[in-house]
Amino acid sequence: MSDYTLDNIRSGTVLLFLWKLTGEIKYKQAADLLREQLKSQPRTKEGGFWHKEVYPYQMWLDGLFMAEPFYAEYAVLFDEPNDFDDIALQFKLMEEHARDPKTGLLYHGYDESRQQAWANPETGTSASFWGRGVGWYFMALVDTLDFFPKDHPERAELIAILQRLAEAVAKVQDPQSGVWWEVLDQGGRKGNYLESSASCMFVYSYAKAVEKGYIRKSSYKKVYKTGYAGIQTQFVQDRPDGGVDLNSTVSVGGLGGNPYRNGTYEYYLSEAVVTNDAKGVGPFLLASLYLHN
């Protein structure tokens, strides 16, 4: 808890699942610790969670997926309805500050202080639309809405945010392959490549959003069907031993730190591309479950 990284919070969804499954108090106690972290997590002046204490004044798209589904489920299980105002605020602040009005896509990060070298001095945003970053945010929306009260006044706004994002992401789907690029709006540019984790995240998010009625099936069924077919063609490879591999997953993406990550197009293309990374395989399994059910 002491490092105040939102990445710690993601494991909370597993702890809640195990507590519901077994009733063992140790899982509840561990989840309580993560909830305590959120109570003292550093925030921007407007109330947005810092992604990590070592990244002051910064909100990243990743953090929404790491924290909000757990935060929402915990609020339901332990009757903390006031938390939903705060949960909605996180999504609203991220969209308000990171959304590009021209494309509708969200930049990877936002620095309230404008002090980071990667931050636009006027807007505070980073420079690129990172595929997996947008995927984290998209999945965070569809998963958090599972727990968001039907009568909460902010629920409609979260669905509207999701609808705006769905429209923007569909526009940068690669028409030849059906999947998405590492840097979303730079399809075909030298060095850019089709990336599996973002593609799997988008297919899962579209399929779930259609199934839940957040977006129209008539508008988006083709998007996720074409996307899933593209995943199988572009990224899934049979092995001689009968297993399968998921290729073309970027290993990591971030901003700042040491060595310094400047958020440029060239930075995102410099990170290693790997096979069978959990950040790709997990969303692939989720997408497959939705497509096959």
Q: How far apart are CA 169 and CA 32, in angstroms?
A: 35
The pLDDT score that the predictor gives to residue 201 is 99
The pLDDT score that the predictor gives to residue 187 is 98
Q: What is the pLDDT of residues 144-158, one digit of tens each?
A: 999 999 999 999 999
Known catalytic residues are: 62
The pLDDT score that the predictor gives to residue 13 is 98
- What is the maximum span of the chain, computed from C-alpha positions, in angstroms? 55
The pLDDT score that the predictor gives to residue 293 is 80
Q: What is the pLDDT of residues 98-139, one digit of tens each?
A: 999 999 999 999 999 999 999 999 999 999 999 999 999 999
Average pLDDT estimate for 38-47 = 98
Q: What is the pLDDT of residues 212-229, one digit of tens each?
A: 999 999 999 999 999 999
pLDDT band at 162 (very low <50, low <70, confident <90, very high): very high
The pLDDT score that the predictor gives to residue 184 is 99
Q: What is the pLDDT of residues 176-211, one digit of tens each?
A: 999 999 999 999 999 999 999 999 999 999 999 999
Q: SS3 sequence, the chain?
A: CCCCEHHHHHHHHHHHHHHHHHCCHHHHHHHHHHHHHHHHCCECCCCCECCECCECCEEEHHHHHHHHHHHHHHHHHCCCCCHHHHHHHHHHHHHHHHECCCCCCECCEEECCCCCCCCCCCCCECCCCEHHHHHHHHHHHHHHCCCCCCCCCCHHHHHHHHHHHHHHHHHCCCCCCCCCECECCCCCCCCCCECHHHHHHHHHHHHHHHHHCCCCHHHHHHHHHHHHHHHHHHCEEECCCCCEEECCEECCCCCECCCCECCCHHHHHHCCEECCCHHHHHHHHHHHHHHHC
The architecture in CATH of the region 6-292 reads Alpha/alpha barrel (1.50)
**Residue ranges per domain, the chain?**
6-292
Residues 6+ apart with CB under 8 A from 180: 131, 169, 172, 173, 174, 194, 195, 198, 199, 202, 227
pLDDT band at 2 (very low <50, low <70, confident <90, very high): confident
| Residue 82 pLDDT exceeds 90 | yes
Instruction: Work out the mean pLDDT of the chain and round it to a whole number.
Output: 98
pLDDT band at 55 (very low <50, low <70, confident <90, very high): very high
Structure tokens, 66: 């790491």
